[in-house]
Amino acid sequence: MRRTGVRSGALALVMAGALLATGCGAGGSSDGNRASEGGGNKADSAPMPAPDQPRGTEGSEGAQKDGESREIAPEPDFLSTFALDVDTASYGYARRSLEEGRLPDPANVRPEEFVNSFRQDYERPDGDGFSVSVDGARTGDPDWSLLRVGLATRGGDGERRPPAALTFVVDISGSMSEPGRLDLVRDSLDLMTDRLRSDDRVAIVTFSDEADTVLEMTRIGGNKDRIHDVIDDLEPTDSTNVAAGVEEGYDTAVDGKVPGSTNRVVLLSDALANVGETDADGILERIEDERKEHGITLFGVGVGSEYGDQLMERLTNKGDGHTTYVSSIDEAEKVFCDDLPAHIELRARDAKAQVAFDPQTVKQFKLIGYENREVADEDFRDDRVDGGEVGPGHTVTALYAVRLRDGADGGHVATASVRWLDPDNRSPSEESEQIEASALNKPLWGAGADESLQVAAVAGYFADGLRAESGYRPCESETECTEDDMAPTPGGSLPGAPSLPELRREAQQLATSTGDAAVRDLATSLEQACRLLGLEPAPERDDRDGGGEPEGEL
């Protein structure tokens, strides 16, 4: 019969006192792309995206005083470069944790995935590629604004899309026996089988301690009952050898590759690898040739109350794909039915964004999230450097905290650019958009404000707040943490960020005004977080300006 149906803590930035311009966000300091900070012709001072040759210098010549040379600090970096990311798993898993009465591990809280869990109403391009939108508003801290960079692809073509050839790699290890894991995967695959077109094809690979192809690449038309029978026979057993599953999945995908179709490997797992290769880099090395030669990307779907979020994220990032998380049949239906074209088709390969801030107008800026997607500034136009893969109908949002210079209310703030490769012939394209300081004058909160910008702000500030409550911040190195990295820092969150209780009230108002169920869920998650953290009533915020801060990227 067919079945239906690391620590709690936070990223903390010292905004009220002395700040270190460490370049810890995406697009951190590079050796060449430095912007001139003062004087000179303003037309020459604004940094342009990805200059062909490095601009500026690492420092000024030493000045002499009393016969001693004095080293001058290097000028700050006013470029921010990152690979596009349409992952949403971090937000989905955080919601699941909060529903179960647990704070999410701060190491698994990625603000960009919170923000990108909410679709934005950006203008869509007429053809392939991206549209670029840039706007912003003034935060509760009068010195700081929130700047939003929005990228969008045109929607899917429905029945006109190319046929799909999907290889599902299903985790049937013992840990998948928990309710909400393999049973949810079976239901999801049943749903998807009924929604795919007759000219689509699927293959199914299972893995526990070993991997096995239980369904070779099979056309949907005329074979639905057979496919459903294979899905219903999936049962949990033994250990979790993710490497074996991914390797077998790619072998099966290559053997069953259909010319003219969209060929994808879809990994469905709790990603709790405990047998064989357990490192993302090592796993992907085993299928490197197939992945590059055949252009087959890896889409990850995470399940389970205990979930290897970081392994799945690194696998899909390095596998030229993306990841999401499902905890209910409604979420599975959205992923496998409603959003299926966005998850299997491609509008762009190796997409990267670069925001060039004008040092004459901008004093400081901080990209919210994207730490794992950092790209060196000089690699923006190096098409050999991996970016992100983006499908039809996707939107990508990046939020920046921006502090303007005194009296710079009418200047140029930034130029946002996106570069991508055509998914078929890999020819490069770019689009750009600019924003002036006058566009940041309107308030972020209150009646008449842009509700879509408010939703993005609530999501980004929420993620930062979940990190900030224990003084957690990401380590400067992926491999080790120093004492300073682990220590709480004063200030607690991004400049102008409301407290979590204040964010909860904003989310509740937005849920009412928009009537959006996703925003209502966001308000519920904020309420659960506030309760777990004991944050009622809302604490007083200290908005004092410490003065004497460095400039450029924080």
> Are 364 and 421 a contacting pair, CB within 8 Å?
no
DSSP state of 159: G
- pTM across the whole model: 0.80
Phi then psi for residue 439, to 5 deg, are -75, -10
Sheet with 297-302, strands from edge to edge, namely 211-219, 201-207, 164-171, 262-269, 297-302, 323-325
Note the residue count of the chain: 554
The residue with tokens 């939020």 is 399
Mean pLDDT by 10 residues, the chain (554 residues): 38 33 36 35 46 31 38 63 94 95 93 95 89 96 95 79 92 93 95 92 96 97 97 92 93 92 92 83 80 84 91 85 91 86 84 96 95 94 92 94 91 97 92 96 91 97 84 42 39 76 95 96 96 69 50 80
Q: Which domains does the chain have, with CATH numbers?
A: 81-156+348-470+498-532 (2.60.40.1230), 164-343 (3.40.50.410)
The residue with tokens 């499908």 is 391
Using only C-alpha atoms, the chain has a radius of gyration, in whole angstroms, of 24
Q: Which pLDDT does position 226 carry in this prediction?
A: 97
**One-letter amino acid of 439:** A
> Are 378 and 30 a contacting pair, CB within 8 Å?
yes
Phi then psi for residue 268, to 5 deg, are -115, 110
Closest Cα partner for 421 from 319, 294, 295, 281?
A: 295
Give the three-class secondary structure for 220: coil
Decide the pairing of beta strands 395-404 and 144-152: antiparallel
Q: How far is Cα of residue 407 from the mean position of the Cα atoms in its chain?
A: 34
Q: Which pLDDT does position 172 carry in this prediction?
A: 96
Q: Which pLDDT does position 102 carry in this prediction?
A: 94
